[in-house]
């Protein structure tokens, strides 16, 4: 019998699943990729505590969920090759950008996928084909696709995507792509020539955008450098060292100032306040415009987690200056 390996239950259409898969590939951790569907349903049920992918089953049969803790746990057990910049300040910035990617950059991904007709049709069809399993009749897949769209489109409210927030969400994706196009012009990954935690998180979302017709066309036509990184991150490798702050600062500062301090942290703090008060919905001013969405418990826990990481990292030389200058500090210090 083959030696037991890690088993990763996921989907090509799930940003958090492909993020963990790329991480396992980077670390050289042997694993089986199991698209979630009828063939894998029983084993998934057995190990999953929540109906969420990715689910990583360890060789000794433990079921792990939530991409950030999964990666943290594997990284602690097998630190090399590291996904954390050597400089502790840059390491925290990478962790902060990963949190931003999981919590905020998911909005443009979800927004484009489920609010544009062509994207909805494409994604629902691909998910349905996976859920129906191999050999399913085309009518069965078409019916399943309709059911997927009916389930997913109303979830736009979970990410706050509606006519009033569209400009903010789409502007955010454009700014991220504009920034990456320059940042990745002189290095292979965000913090140098090797991938960081931030690359894995941001890539999961942008890879999904790229597979969808509307943002995919945008990336293919206007962002060739970012597209090469999207391809590279499918199987990322150490191609050199970490860059110093003086070399990476422009792109990282732009993301911190406009995206993390401008959108993600004020939004996350307003969400946490609404959850604490038991409000069902909240409105926060972002870029001078009201952003309204349903309050989400999960995001409130994630804000507490990044604040915990901040407290542990805050004395790293240079970090305070960067977080103050970009406007992140007041949100992190809570
Ligand atoms: N924070 C979690 C998010 C996981 C998540 O939201 N997974 C989605 C797919 S990307 C899911 O399984 N949704 C349930 C469903 O679609 O039925 C992580 O990082 O793993």
> Atom 13, ligand 1: which residue's CA is nearest?
52
Spatial contact of 7 and 34, defined as CB atoms under 8 Å apart: yes
Residue 62 CA to ligand 1 center (angstroms) comes to: 18
**Arithmetic mean of pLDDT, 273-286:** 97
The residue assigned the tokens 């943290």 is 72
Spatial contact of 43 and 220, defined as CB atoms under 8 Å apart: no
pLDDT tens per residue, range 107-148 = 999 999 999 999 999 999 999 999 888 889 999 999 999 999
Please report, rounded to a whole number, the percentage of residues in the chain having pLDDT higher than 90.
95
Same domain flag for 142 and 232: no
Of ligand 1's listed atoms, the one at least distance from the Cα of 53 is 12
Same domain flag for 100 and 33: no
Asked if residue 83 is part of any domain, the answer here is no
Asked if residue 272 is part of any domain, the answer here is yes
Ligand 1 pocket test, pick from 45, 52, 64 with the greatest ligand atom count within 8 Å of Cβ, gives 52
| Distances, alpha carbon 180 to alpha carbons 151, 205, 273, 299, in Å | 33, 14, 32, 25
Same domain flag for 185 and 92: yes
pLDDT tens per residue, range 282-301 = 999 999 999 999 999 988 89
Asked if residue 1 is part of any domain, the answer here is no
Asked if residue 226 is part of any domain, the answer here is yes
Distance, in Å, from the CA atom of 208 to the CA atom of 111, rounded to the nearest integer, reads: 12
pLDDT tens per residue, range 33-54 = 999 989 999 999 999 999 999 9
Same domain flag for 96 and 151: no
23's CB contacts (< 8 A; 6+ apart) are: 71, 74, 83, 200
Same domain flag for 103 and 186: yes
Spatial contact of 261 and 217, defined as CB atoms under 8 Å apart: no
In the structure, which protein residues have their CB atom closer than 6 angstroms to any atom of ligand 1?
14-16, 51-54, 66-68, 102
Q: Which of 155, 185, 211 is the last residue of a domain?
A: 155
Query: Residue 120: what pLDDT?
Result: 98
Structurally, the chain folds into a number of domains equal to: 3
Q: Which of 100, 122, 155 is the last residue of a domain?
A: 155
Integer-rounded Cα radius of gyration of the chain: 20
pLDDT tens per residue, range 154-171 = 999 999 999 999 999 999
Asked if residue 82 is part of any domain, the answer here is no
Same domain flag for 202 and 164: yes
Strands 281-286 and 63-65: unpaired
Same domain flag for 276 and 259: yes
Same domain flag for 219 and 310: yes
Question: Is pLDDT above 80 for 3?
Answer: no
Element (H, E) at 56: strand 55-57
CATH number at residue 55: 3.40.30.10
Question: Is pLDDT above 70 for 176?
Answer: yes
Query: Residue 1: what pLDDT?
Result: 53
pLDDT tens per residue, range 228-274 = 999 999 999 999 999 999 999 999 999 999 999 999 999 999 999 99
> Atom 16, ligand 1: which residue's CA is nearest?
52
Same domain flag for 203 and 70: no
pLDDT tens per residue, range 49-90 = 999 999 999 999 999 999 999 999 999 999 999 999 999 999
Of ligand 1's listed atoms, the one at least distance from the Cα of 70 is 20
**Arithmetic mean of pLDDT, 7-13:** 98
Which pairs from 38-44 meet CB under 8 Å and 24+ separation?
A: 38/131, 38/132, 38/133, 39/133, 39/134, 40/9, 43/7, 43/9, 44/9
Same domain flag for 95 and 73: no
**Arithmetic mean of pLDDT, 207-229:** 98
Of ligand 1's listed atoms, the one at least distance from the Cα of 66 is 20
Closest CA to 190 of 162, 163, 223, 230: 230
Residue 126 CA to ligand 1 center (angstroms) comes to: 16
Query: Residue 2: what pLDDT?
Result: 63
Residue 14 CA to ligand 1 center (angstroms) comes to: 7
Residue 87 CA to ligand 1 center (angstroms) comes to: 31
Same domain flag for 103 and 247: yes
Query: Residue 134: what pLDDT?
Result: 84
Spatial contact of 172 and 287, defined as CB atoms under 8 Å apart: no
Domain that holds residue 124: 114-155
Cα 268–Cα 230–Cα 70 angle in degrees, nearest 5: 55
> Atom 15, ligand 1: which residue's CA is nearest?
52
Q: Which of 98, 122, 155 is the last residue of a domain?
A: 155
Same domain flag for 95 and 217: yes
Residue 119 CA to ligand 1 center (angstroms) comes to: 19
pLDDT tens per residue, range 193-212 = 999 999 999 999 999 999 99
Label residue 334 by pLDDT band (50, 70, 90). Answer: confident
Residue 127 CA to ligand 1 center (angstroms) comes to: 14
């Amino acid at each position: 019998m083959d030696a037991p390996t890690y088993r990763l239950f996921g989907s090509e259409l799930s940003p958090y699943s492909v993020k963990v898969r790329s991480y396992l590939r980077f670390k050289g951790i042997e694993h089986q990729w199991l698209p979630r569907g009828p063939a894998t349903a029983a084993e998934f049920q057995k190990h999953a505590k929540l109906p969420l992918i990715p689910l990583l089953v360890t060789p000794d049969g433990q079921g792990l969920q939530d991409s950030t803790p999964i990666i943290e746990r594997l990284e602690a057990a097998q630190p090399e090759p590291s996904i954390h910049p050597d400089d502790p300040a840059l390491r925290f910035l990478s962790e902060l950008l990963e949190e931003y990617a999981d919590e905020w950059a998911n909005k443009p991904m979800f927004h484009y996928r489920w609010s544009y007709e062509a994207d909805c049709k494409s994604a629902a069809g691909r998910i349905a084909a996976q859920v129906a399993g191999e050999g399913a009749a085309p009518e069965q897949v078409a019916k399943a696709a309709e059911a997927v769209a009916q389930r997913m489109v109303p979830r736009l409210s979970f990410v706050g995507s509606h006519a009033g927030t569209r400009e903010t969400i789409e502007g955010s994706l454009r700014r991220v792509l504009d920034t990456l196009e320059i940042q990745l012009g002189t290095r292979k990954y965000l913090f140098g020539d090797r991938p960081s935690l931030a690359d894995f998180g941001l890539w999961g979302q942008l890879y999904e955008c790229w597979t969808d017709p509307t943002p995919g066309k945008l990336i293919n036509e206007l962002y060739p450098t970012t597209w090469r990184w999207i391809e590279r991150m499918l199987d990322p490798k150490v191609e050199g060292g970490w860059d110093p702050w003086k070399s990476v600062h422009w792109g990282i500062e732009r993301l911190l100032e406009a995206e993390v301090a401008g959108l993600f942290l004020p939004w996350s703090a307003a969400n946490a306040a609404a959850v604490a008060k038991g409000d069902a919905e909240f409105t926060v001013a972002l870029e001078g415009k009201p952003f309204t969405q349903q309050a989400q418990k999960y995001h409130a826990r994630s804000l507490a987690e990044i604040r915990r990481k901040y407290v542990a990292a805050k004395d790293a030389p240079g970090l305070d200056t960067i977080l103050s200058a970009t406007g992140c500090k007041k949100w992190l210090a809570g």
